[in-house]
Copies of this chain bind each other. A is one copy, B any other.
Amino acid sequence: MIGIFDSGVGGMTVARAVETLLPGNQIIYYGDLARTPYGSKSPEAIIEYSIANTEFLIEHGAGIIIIACNSAASVASDILRRKFAVPIFEVITPAVERAVSSTVSGNIGVIGTRATIRSTIYEQKIKQQAPEFRVFSKACPLLVPLVEEGWLNARETKMILRKYLTPLKHKQIDTLVLGCTHYPLLKDLIGHRMGKSRVRLIDSSIEVGLTLQKYLTAKPAIHETIQRGNENKYFVSDMTKAAAATAEQIFGRHIDLIKV
Contact = CB atoms under 8 A, between A and B. Distances in A.
A180 to B, nearest CB: 14
Given A33-B41, A41-B240, A238-B41, A148 B155 contact: no
Interface string A106-133: 0000000010000000000000000000
Contacts of A45: 34, 238
A155 B114 CA distance: 21
Contact of A146 (B34, B142, B239): B142
Interface string A129-155: 000000000000110011011000011
B238 A42 contact: yes
A114 B42 CA distance: 25
Contacts of A44: 238
A198 interface: no
Interface stretch (A75-83, A88-96, A156-164, A189-197): A156-164
Contact-residue bracket for chain A: 20 to 34
A35 interface: yes
A242 B163 contact: no
A25 interface: no
A19 to B, nearest CB: 26
A42 B156 CA distance: 27
B41 A242 contact: no
Name the 5 nearest CB pairs between A and B, nearest first: A145-B145, A45-B238, A42-B238, A156-B160, A34-B45
10 contacts: A34-B35, A35-B35, A41-B240, A42-B238, A42-B239, A42-B240, A44-B238, A114-B242, A141-B148, A156-B160
